[in-house]
Amino acid sequence: MSRFSGITDNPHKERFNQKTGILLTNLGSPDEPSTKAVRVYLSEFLSDPRIVEIPRLVWMIILHGIILRIRPKRSAKLYKSIWTENGSPLTHITRLQRDKLSALLKQQGYENTEVVMSMRYGNPSIESGLEELREKGFTRIVVLPLYPQYSSPTIGSTFDAVSNVLRKWRWVPELHFINGYHKNTTYIDALANSISEDLKKNGTPQKLVFSYHGMPKLFLDNGDPYYCLCLQTTRLVIEKLTLDKELQLDKENVISTFQSRFGKAEWLKPYTDATLQGLPEQGIKDIAIISPAFSADCLETLEEIEGENREIFEEAGGEKYRYIAALNDRDDHIEAMLDVLKPNL
């Protein structure tokens, strides 16, 4: 009798057969475009200490005494302008991403996986997503926040939310937390593909603008790498695009800017709105703009970039303005998600 009798053929077989739950997360949206729902959403969002880093007591007085009395009504109007029959665009697109990623996983042979979507703020919550995975018996969980570039207010905050739930569980699952993927080649390829398709269809603009969500400059000064990761994303995409001679894209005609300022503090520069306002007087009247920090179209792209910033550019004398949509549920974007997940599957 062999001395190896009774030993399984593959000592890691049990591990390979473990069920892996994938928690796909994004920022979130109010439940409906009403003042009441937006107030609830903004209260949760703006109460996060990762979002606003000023003394807690002072900020709570400002938030509840001023901001939540004024901002929800204005924001509700903005949400109404982008709301669809499917509800919030961000929530709907994330749901499509979940479904397509789930199908691709099964197609690629990852049978013991399930994808659940959650939002950092609003519904479905991160807690509900984690509880769903626990109830279904998943002992391994991979968390994929759909923010390509790490920042404390996005991915850091998501980690906080996941940790706050798991610290209450008696049996904590094996956890893999993905804290960004801005250099992933399939993600860069997907971004480059979306830009290339637009430029080949509509022509090369005078300027190609990469507009990233902004943050207070103080965050950068305190060590947040987000600003540097955004610039690196732009560089990697442009390096990819300039290989295609058909595009005739000069990297000198590419700029990176930062949008969505809030409050009076200095934010990351250059500002998107100020840049767009100043381009026409420099003779730049034909631009294309893309927002690579957003994995799905949302208020900041559909209303701010497509609407507000378009008006700023055109009122300043701009003539041609086109927004290149977020990657949303494009097939190459879903393939990029799988590629990011693979080392943890």
213 is in an annotated binding site: yes
How many Cα atoms within 13 Å fall on the side-chain side of residue 161? 31
Could you identify the residue written with the tokens 């990469």? 210
281 is in an annotated binding site: no
Encoded tokens for 341: 């997940």
* Cα–Cα distance measured from residue 278 to residue 237, given in angstroms and rounded to the nearest whole number: 25
Distances, alpha carbon 39 to alpha carbons 55, 120, 303, in Å: 22, 16, 19
- Asked whether 253 and 207 are in contact (CB, 8 A), the reply is yes
- Asked whether 145 and 26 are in contact (CB, 8 A), the reply is yes
Residues making up the annotated binding site for Fe(2+) are 213, 300
Residues making up the annotated binding site are 213, 300
